[in-house]
Amino acid sequence: MSVTTAFEKARADERAVLVGYLPAGFPTVEGGIEAMRAIVDAGCDVIEVGLPYSDPVMDGPTIQAAAQRALGGGVRTRDVLRTVEAVAATGTPTVVMTYWNPIEKYGVARFAADLADAGGSGLITPDLTPDSGAEWIAAADSLDLDKIFLVAPSSTDERIAMTTAACRGFVYATAVMGVTGARATSSDLAGPLVARTKAVTDIPVAVGLGVSTGDQAAEVASYADGVIVGSAFVRCLLDHDDLTSGLGALASLADDLAQGVRRA
């Protein structure tokens, strides 16, 4: 199933999509695959597989800690692709979220081809903008891969229009200024950003702003097409020394979040 199909199915059910993020290789490659399958089983509609990076300037301490553990365990880009293949085999749309440097080093066309071969749906590229991404856009278009770029509260209306015109799959609205991380309250910048984005595109808009509870998910789902959860899932695994209890905590959180997007 494609990302677009997941959003269409959710829209038919009059609810938002729940997008779950976890980094590949955390706590191990196989453990990460188990974790992603657990949140799929508990209600995540789309999975973001993070490509661990040594200089994650846009990530908060939670995701940085997980990425460092994955890198310390020897995770490589081929392990990320193996993770994508295992998760996509569940029938769940699976995208990779990555800084651009690892893709450039791997080879843009080569990575796009290997991602497509693994059953991946596309890429989220937080530090690549459409006006700097001609090589990726061409590679993605040739393989019908989704191109998911970011908009932010600081984006001008012109910038939002340019960015959304290049997107396929969904638009990632990062509605908190600063690094990623779970937060106790949702941002009052999110609603206006979604409204500005929807004014110039029919592509679904999914919001990432540190959601960590079902109630927060319901609030965001009341105005966005998708709710993105990352740090809260990662924290479940960081807080549990053994994988079994971590998987249980993950499943419980995913279920609460899935109920939230349906409640909205």
> Residue 244 CB: number of other CB atoms within 10 A?
9
Sketch out the chain's domains with CATH numbers: 3-263 (3.20.20.70)
Calculate the CA dihedral of residues 27, 136, 7, 79 and round it to 10 degrees.
-20
Q: Which of 14, 34, 45, 48 is catalytic?
A: 48
Residue 215 falls in the annotated catalytic set: no
Better-scored residue on pLDDT, 60 or 207: 207
Banded model confidence at residue 183, pLDDT cuts 50, 70, 90: very low
Averaged pLDDT score across all residues of the chain: 93
State yes or no: pLDDT of 86 exceeds 80.
Answer: yes
Q: Residue 114: what pLDDT?
A: 98
Banded model confidence at residue 185, pLDDT cuts 50, 70, 90: very low
Better-scored residue on pLDDT, 176 or 135: 135
Residue 129 corresponds to which tokens in the numbers above?
């903008």
Residue with tokens 């590679």: 139
Banded model confidence at residue 35, pLDDT cuts 50, 70, 90: very high
Tell me what the mean pLDDT of segment 86-98 comes to: 98
Q: Residue 56: what pLDDT?
A: 54
Tell me what the mean pLDDT of segment 5-24 comes to: 97
Which has the closest alpha carbon to 103: 92, 113, 91, 90? 113
CA distances 248 to 188, 214, 230, 243, Å, are: 32, 17, 17, 9
- For 218-228, the pLDDT digits (tens) are 999 999 999 99
Q: What's the predicted TM-score (pTM) here? A: 0.93
Q: Which of 13, 34, 45, 59 is catalytic?
A: 59
Tell me what the mean pLDDT of segment 252-259 comes to: 98
Residue 13 falls in the annotated catalytic set: no
Q: Residue 230: what pLDDT?
A: 94
